[in-house]
């Protein structure tokens, strides 16, 4: 599933994926908070991307991950249950616009996305851009990867897609629906490296047992956020306050470390997700 880089980001806005989620009939009235209370549930978008979201293969339940912990905390604050709706990174904005979900965690606040959705002011967390590369592939600098014949896998319409498309014009960029498919391409030898922010790569490296994780220089770290429907100030304020509170009291780092421990990884050997700890 490889596309020419010139077409990669022309549709990062929801218009490119709107057909994936036909407009839903909005039987519920009021803003998002009113709808959540009427429905009795907070609907979050999920996609298989540990440590953010992880489905239990035995039960089919989305039971683990930072996003699940945040979702449960926010649902509890609203005295409703948590509902998970499976999407991809590329279809999440369309799902929001079609009123299929109320929020999608781990979507970075880019200018392109801000044309279609809103973001809170408070950051969700911080992370560094990294690659899981072949052991023999030079990757100390981003320029090492910007070479003809170097194949880099990324989730389509993601922040990683945008960065490598703009920064590595000589490389061959391979785009896939989500993290799992991009990692699978690397595992199968169809890509020389997979570019993601560092936390999912820690999980992938443990599962695959091969490759090296590198944060190429110059290091790039940024805040991640969450997307919501536009022009809904009460819900945006609720999310903003929730993010700021959980970040300040340490739950952001705590939930991340809990997943790492549950997955058999040492949090002390992993980069933090709070800016003050990077």
List, in sequence order, every beta strand (DSSP E) within the chain: 41-46, 54-55, 62-64, 81-86, 104-105, 125-133, 151-155, 172-176, 193-197, 212-214, 221-224, 226-227
* Whole-number pLDDT of residue 269: 80
* Whole-number pLDDT of residue 29: 65
The architecture of the domain spanning 15-125+225-277 is 3-Layer(aba) Sandwich (3.40)
Could you tell me what percentage of the chain is helix, strand and coil, using 3-state DSSP and rounding each to the nearest 5? 40, 20, 40
* Whole-number pLDDT of residue 229: 98
Q: Are 103 and 36 in contact (CB under 8 A)?
A: no
Spans of the chain, pLDDT less than 50 = 1-27
SS (H, E, C) 102-158: CEEECCCCCHHHHCCCECCCCCCEEEEEEEEECCCCCCCEHHHHCCCCCEEEEECCC
Same fold for the pair 15-125+225-277 and 127-221:
yes
> How many angstroms separate the Cα of 80 from the Cα of each of 41, 147, 269?
5, 51, 36
Provide the residue ranges of all domains of the chain, joining segments of one domain with +. Answer: 15-125+225-277, 127-221
- What digits encode the pLDDT tens for the residues 138-188? 999 999 999 999 999 999 989 999 999 999 999 999 999 999 999 999 999
The CATH superfamily holding the domain 127-221 is: Periplasmic binding protein-like II (3.40.190.10)
Which tokens in the block code for residue 266? 């040492």
């Amino acid at each position: 599933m490889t596309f020419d880089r010139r077409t990669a980001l022309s549709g990062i806005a929801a218009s490119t994926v709107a057909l994936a989620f036909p407009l839903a009939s909005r039987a519920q009235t009021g803003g998002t908070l009113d709808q959540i209370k009427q429905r009795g549930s907070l609907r979050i978008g999920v996609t298989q991307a540990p440590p953010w979201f992880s489905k239990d293969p035995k039960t089919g339940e989305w039971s683990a991950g930072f996003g699940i912990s945040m979702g449960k905390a926010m649902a509890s604050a609203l005295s409703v249950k948590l509902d998970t709706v499976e999407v991809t990174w590329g279809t999440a904005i369309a799902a929001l616009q079609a009123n299929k979900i109320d929020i999608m965690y781990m979507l970075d606040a880019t200018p392109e996305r801000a044309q279609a959705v809103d973001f809170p002011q408070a950051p969700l967390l911080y992370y560094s851009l990294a690659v899981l590369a072949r052991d023999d592939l030079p990757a100390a600098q981003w320029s090492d990867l910007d070479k003809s014949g170097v194949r880099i896998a990324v989730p389509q319409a993601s922040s990683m897609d945008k960065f490598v498309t703009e920064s590595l014009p000589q490389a061959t960029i391979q785009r896939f629906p989500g993290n799992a498919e991009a990692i699978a391409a690397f595992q199968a030898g169809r890509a020389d490296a997979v570019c993601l922010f560092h936390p999912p790569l820690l999980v992938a490296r443990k599962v695959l047992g091969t490759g090296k994780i590198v944060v190429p220089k110059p290091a790039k770290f940024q805040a991640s956020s969450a997307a919501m429907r536009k022009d809904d100030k009460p819900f945006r304020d609720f999310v903003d306050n929730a993010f700021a509170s959980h970040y300040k009291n340490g739950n952001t780092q705590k939930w991340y470390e809990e997943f790492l421990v549950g997955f058999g990884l040492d949090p002390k050997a992993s980069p933090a997700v709070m800016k003050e700890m990077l």
